[in-house]
Amino acid sequence: MINADAKLAENIFDKPAQASSREGFGKGVVEAGKMDERIVVLTADLAESTQAHHFEKAFPERFVQVGVAEQNLATVAAGMANYGKIPFITSYATFSPGRNWEQIRTTIAINNVPVKVCGMHAGVSVGPDGATHQALEDIAMMRALPRFIVISPCDAEEGRKATLAAAKSGTPVYLRFGREKTSVMTTAETPFEIGKANIFWNPPSPGRAEVAIFATGPLVHNALLAARELEKEGLGAYVADIHTIKPLDADTIVRLAREAGAVVTVEEHQIIGGLGGAIAELLASVSPTPIEFIGVHDAFGQSGTAKELIEHYGMGVGAIVAAAKKAIERKKL
Amino acid sequence: MSITDTEVREIELKAYAIRKTVIEMLSEAGSGHTAGPLGMADIFAALYFHVLHHDPKNPKWAERDRLFLSNGHITPVRYAAMAHAGYFPLEECMTLRKFGSRLQGHPERTFLPGVETTSGPLGSGLSQASGYALAARMDGPPAGGFRIFCAMSDGEHEEGNTWEAAMFAGKYRLTNLTAIMDRNNIQIDGNTEDVMPLEPLADKYRAFNWHVIEIDGHNVAQFVEACDEAKSIKEKPTMILAHTTPGKGVHTIENDYRWHGTPPGKGPTDKIPADKQREVFLAELEEAQKSI
């Protein structure tokens, strides 16, 4: 059952509002810009598809167009942050942090300047553009970097809040956003704090969960649909929205994993090095638990619709339900 | 800012003092780059003892000129120049590349005040300096009323990021930015024109909408005049293309690319045995200094 404390939208299963998480970025960065004059936004010839054009319109004097040059995007921003600005750099995640990862490592992370790397079009749900434009490795790349906070919002509203929180963090941050319109689950009242997981779904009997589902990004909605199916079959579950992949909310994750005794991780990313990897590292060291990994299994994407691709790569509701049952079965071994 | 003959001579002497420190610190470290730091000693002496507005006792002074070093591997010359200028005790130079030192093998902003940015991986310094220059211009004087310098190598012009930055600085007409290229014609694997031809560098920068001044990088007066000229250019960033001799001052290694990334004591032994390299280099510097 839905956790009332999360203050989710009322109609998340019937007719949820649809918006892309990048739209949340577009709104959030304008709000942040109003609050703090140090905020600047840079893009590499992708102002509209990154939603940076909203900031460009509101604050043209604080908008920087670097052209198709992602290495320059990161390093110019590093220089601006070094001066005292708070730059948000925007491109597709395959290009930034994909192409410019070393520049991010040296001039932002080692240099310790508060640049916010905003990677759009994450996951296979980019759709028709195909594998070259579908970022599936960005979480792995960014969570390996010391000093970086890594945030993967579940919807547009959380994307807006994450953008505002990143603006205030004083640290390097990676923000991951999707292209497609997806279900808006959270509301303005839903809590958001960097590093604090949000429990969206509880088992019907408190303390009697069979499985804990840890999900990130827009697939949190599929995780909720899966939890509803499981509940119909008498299997209590938790669904936690792990919007912050680094630092992980270790307290919440370990508590839910211990109570349920079985875990499913859900992400639109390679299962190598992403959320699942991070949770496996955590649980292996403090509370070994059977885990099933929903994500892309060491493969590249391809052209198709978002829905087709999510199903094809095993990230649909049915796949999550099956993974939960498998994890529960493994408890008995 | 002009310069008298007496001042030139003082800076040239400083440059030799810096070179000797470079040889001593690299010998002590047992690793690091020799040719580039020796070749850039005149320019770093001129920067720290004449051109830059700075305060060694207050390295975070808001109005200081900013000196970015893009080719971080020549950082021994910067450390030595900073020590001679009074940023930290000369003895600290001997901690170069050692555990716990503020003098990291490649320079890090978070370790040593006065180092404006972290560098080493090539090709990323000009864009950082450009971003800094643009940010400073957004705020305008007095907050952003200082000048931004960026020292670079010639070899890093094989990096795409360098040309992205050149295009960017040209687009935004970053007149507060002066780049200084160490055109010493060598890189690790050989002479630049063999590894990957770079010429015509001056024409390339002009085509990217820069003002270009070519100088003899060992002529202090020319360098100071070029910095003056850069200040007077109101529509473009300026590139001071400084022709230098790698290894300058140590006659037996000048222009020998094999000394790009090797310290005294570990270099080629066809001319000087390894265990004699430090003392021979210092003696050669002493001798070369007499010509000032």
Buried b / exposed e over B146-184, threshold 16 CB at 10 Å, is bbbbbbbbbbbbbbebbbbbbbbbbebebbbbbbbbbbb
Boundary of a domain, candidates A183, A209, A226:
A183
Give the span between the Cα atoms of A309 and A100, in whole angstroms. Answer: 27
| Residue range(s) defining the domain that contains residue A163 | 18-183
State which residue of chain A sits closest to B111, comparing Cα positions: A111
Instruction: Let me know: does A294 contact A319? Beta carbons within 8 Å.
Output: yes
Among A192, A206, A212, smallest CA distance to A253 is for A212
Please answer yes or no on whether A107 and B130 come within 8 Å at the CB atom.
no
- The DSSP-derived string for B195-252 is HS----HHHHHHHTT-EEEEEETT-HHHHHHHHHHHHH--SS-EEEEEE--TTTT-GG
What pLDDT does B140 receive? 86
Shared domain for A9 and A50, answered yes or no, is no
Pairing of strands B190-191, B186-187: antiparallel
Say how far apart CA B262 and CA B14 lie, in whole Å.
Answer: 23
For the segment B177-182, the average pLDDT, to the nearest whole number, is 98
Q: Chain A residue closest to B60 (CA)? A: A83
3-state SS track over A290-332:
CEEEEEECCCCCCCCCHHHHHHHCCCCHHHHHHHHHHHHHHHC
> Cα dist. A59→A30, A40, A53, A64 in Å?
8, 9, 10, 10
> Would you say A310 and A322 are in contact if contact means Cβ atoms under 8 Å apart?
no
pLDDT tens, position by position, B205-262: 999 999 999 999 999 999 999 999 999 999 999 999 999 999 999 999 999 999 999 9
In this predicted structure, what is the pLDDT of residue B95? 98
Q: Which residues pair with A199 in a beta bridge?
A: A240
The terminus-to-terminus CA distance of chain B in angstroms comes to 22
Contact B132 A40 (CB under 8 A): no
Give the domain CATH number at A66: 3.40.50.970
Specify whether the CB–CB gap between A327 and A264 falls below 8 A: yes
How many Cβ contacts (< 8 angstroms) between chains A and B?
Answer: 100
* CA distances, A74 to each of A62, B125, B283 (Å): 16, 11, 45
Counting every residue written for chain B, the total comes to: 292
Considering the domain architecture, whether residues A42 and A177 belong to the same structural domain is answered as: yes
pLDDT for B253 equals 94
Give the whole-angstrom CA distance, residue B207 versus residue B167. Answer: 9
Report residue B142's pLDDT band, with 50, 70 and 90 as the boundaries: confident
Say if CB A226 and CB A188 are below 8 A apart. Answer: no
When scoring B60, B71, B164 by the number of chain A Cβ atoms within 10 A, the one with the most, hence best to mutate, is B164
Residue showing tokens 């009074």 = B86
Q: Are A27 and A194 in contact (CB under 8 A)?
A: no
As given in the structure block, the two tokens for residue A305 are 């619709």
Mutate to test the interface with B, among A36, A105, A107, A112 (most CBs of B within 10 A): A107
Task: Write the pLDDT tens digit of every residue in B72-125.
Answer: 999 999 999 999 999 999 999 999 999 999 999 999 999 999 999 999 999 999
Alpha-carbon dihedral A84, A90, A94, A99, rounded to 10 degrees: -40
Q: Do B160 and A110 touch (CB under 8 A)?
A: no
A34: helix, coil or strand?
helix
> DSSP alpha helices (H): ranges in chain A?
21-35, 53-58, 70-83, 101-103, 138-143, 156-169, 220-232, 250-260, 275-286, 306-312, 317-331
ipTM: 0.95
Instruction: Let me know if A70 is a catalytic residue.
Output: yes
What's the domain count of chain A?
Answer: 2
Shared domain check, A318 and A200: yes
Question: A85 vs B135: CB contact, 8 Å cut-off?
Answer: yes
Q: Given its phi and psi angles, is residue B252 left (phi above 0), alpha (psi -120 to 50 degrees) or beta?
A: alpha
Residues of chain A with pLDDT under 50: none
Are the beta carbons of A111 and B133 separated by less than 8 Å? no
Q: Please, which pLDDT band fits residue B2 given cuts at 50, 70 and 90? A: confident
Chain B residues at the A interface, defined by Cβ less than 8 Å, are: 68, 108-110, 116-121, 123-124, 127-136, 138, 144, 160-161, 164-165, 167-168, 171
Distance CA(A159)–CA(A177), nearest Å, equals 7
Task: Say if the Cβ atoms of B134 and A80 lie within 8 Å.
Answer: yes
Tell me the whole-structure pTM to 2 decimals. Answer: 0.96
Same structural domain for residues A10 and A25? no
CB contact under 8 A, B168 and A78: no
Question: What domains are defined for chain B?
Answer: 5-289 (3.40.50.970)
Nearest CA in chain B to A65: B168
- Counting residues of chain B whose pLDDT is more than 70, the rounded percentage is 100
Residue B188 predicted with pLDDT over 90: yes
The Cα–Cα gap between B85 and B82 comes to 5
Nearest to A79 among B121, B129, B164 (CB): B129
d(CA A42, CA A64): 5
Residue partners of B117: CB distance under 8 A and separation at least 6? A78, A79, A82, A107, A111, B68, B69, B107, B109, B125, B128
Q: Are residues A137 and A97 in the same domain?
A: yes
- Shortest distance between the Cα of A147 and any Cα of chain B, in A, equals 13
In this complex, which of A69, A80, A110 lies closest to B118 when CB atoms are compared? A110
Residue of A38, A68, A73, A76 to mutate, interface with B, max B Cβ within 10 Å = A76
**Chain B residue closest in CA terms to A103:** B124
Clarify whether residues A198 and A175 are in a common domain.
no
Contact flag A79-B123 (C-beta cutoff 8 Å) = no
Same domain, A30 and A176: yes
Domain boundary among A183, A200, A215: A183
Query: B110 vs A111: CB contact, 8 Å cut-off?
Result: yes
Asked if the Cβ–Cβ distance from B165 to A72 is below 8 Å, we say yes
Nearest beta carbon to residue B167 from set A61, A64, A67: A67
Let me know whether A238 and A303 are in one domain: yes
* Bridging pattern class, strands A116-120 and A173-176: parallel
Helices and strands (H, E) in chain B, number of each type = 10, 7
Both A11 and A22 in one domain: the answer is no
If asked whether residues A142 and A104 sit together in one domain, one would say: yes
Facing A66 at nearest CB: one of B68, B132, B168: B168
Chain A nearest CA to B226, separation (Å): 24
Q: Which of A183, A203, A223 is the last residue of a domain?
A: A183
Tell me, what's the pLDDT at A333?
Answer: 77
Shared-domain flag, residues A8 and A36? no
Residues A22 and A139 in one domain: yes
Q: What are the backbone dihedrals phi and psi of residue B242, each rounded to the nearest 5 degrees, phi first?
A: -100, 115
Please tell me the distance in Å from B123's CA to the nearest CA on chain A: 9
Chain B residue with Cα closest to A100:
B161
How many Å lie between the alpha carbon of A36 and the closest alpha carbon of chain B? 14
Torsion of CA B4, B10, B16, B22, to 10 degrees: -100
Q: Which CATH number covers residue A199? A: 3.40.50.920
